[in-house]
Amino acid sequence: MTDTLFPEPDGPSRETLTEGAVLLRGWVVDEAPALLAAIAIVAEEAPFRHLETPGGHRMSVAMTNCGDQGWVSDRRGYLYATHDPERARSWPAMPERFRAIARSAAADAGYPMFEPDACLINRYAPGSRLSLHQDRDERDVSQPIVSVSLGVSAIFLFGGLERATRPRRIRLNHGDVVVWGGASRLAYHGIDVLKAAQHPLTGDLRYNLTFRVTGHG
C-alpha cells in the first residue's frame, strides 16, 4: 500500500530554518509542469544514471546535470567536470527557466546576484535516499545552495556543521525550495528513505534541482 500524498500548502510561505537557511514553501508550484518538461529535455541528451562512490557503492539516487559544470563521482572521487564522462560531450545548457528560478529564490532568501553555473538533477524512486553530507566540492562556498523539490514529498535531513549534530527532519513537498548559505552553507544534509507514494505529475518519483556556483571555470 502506498502512502497518500502529503498535503501541500494553500499558497507560498517563507520560513527561516536557521541562520542563513530559508524554506520557501510552495514557491514553484505554478512553474512545476514547465520545470518537469525541461528536466525531460535535459535527460534526453544526458540520461539519468546511478553514479559509483569512491568506495565502490552504487548510489540509489539517479542523477544528471546541466550547465557549465556537472557533478560526477567514481572510484577517483567527487569532482566537477565540464563534460559528461558517459558521452564525452559537454553537459546540456542550463535552461533559462531554471536559471531564473534559482536567481529569484536566492534573492528572496537574502542572496542577491546568484549566478549558478551548475544544476544537479536528482531522481528519487521509492527506497532511494541521500546520506548526510556537506556540499564542499565547490571552490566558491561564499554562494548559497538553492534546492527545488518536485513530485513526491520527502523528508529533508538538515543538520549542523558537524556530522554528529542530530539533523532536523523537514518535510519537503512539491514546489518547495530550500536555500542555505552563509553560516549554514556547509551544513550536513540529506534525504531520508523515500516512501512509496504517488504524485499526479511524477508518479512515484521525486525530482530535485540543486543549483550551485562551483568556482570552477
Q: What is the 3-state secondary structure (H, E, C) of 167-207?
A: CEEEEECCCCEEEECHHHCCCCEEECCCCCCCECCCECCEE
Q: Provide the pLDDT for residue 86.
A: 92
* Residues 22-39 pLDDT 10s: 999 999 999 999 999 999
Distance of CA 15 to the CA centre of its chain: 18
**What mean pLDDT comes out for the span 48-59?**
90
| pLDDT number for residue 192 | 98
Q: Which residue, among 139, 51, 146, has the nearest Cα to 94 in the 3D structure?
A: 146
Domains of the chain: residue spans and CATH: 13-212 (2.60.120.590)
pLDDT range class, residue 6, cuts 50, 70, 90: very low
Please return the burial class of 197, using the count of CB atoms within 10 Å of its CB with bins 0-12, 13-18 and 19+.
Answer: buried
pLDDT tier, 91 (very low <50, low <70, confident <90, very high otherwise):
very high
What value does the mean pLDDT take over residues 109-113?
A: 95
| Vertex 194 angle, CA 44 and 180, to 5° | 80
| CA-closest candidate to residue 24, choices 112, 95, 107 | 107
What is the per-residue pLDDT for 75? 77
Percent of the chain at pLDDT > 70 equals 94
The answer to whether residue 176 scores a pLDDT higher than 70 is yes
Neighbours of 161 (CB within 10 A): 12
CA-CA distances (angstroms) from residue 145 to 33, 54, 77, 156, 195? 22, 23, 21, 14, 25
Average pLDDT over the chain, rounded to an integer:
93
pTM: 0.93
Cell triple for 210: 540543486
Helix (H) or strand (E) holding 80: strand 77-81
- Using pLDDT thresholds of 50, 70 and 90, give the confidence band for residue 12: confident
Residue 9, pLDDT above cutoff 80: no
HSE at residue 105, side-chain half, CA atoms within 13 A, is 37
Q: What is the pLDDT of residues 58-89, one digit of tens each?
A: 999 999 999 999 999 877 788 999 999 999 99
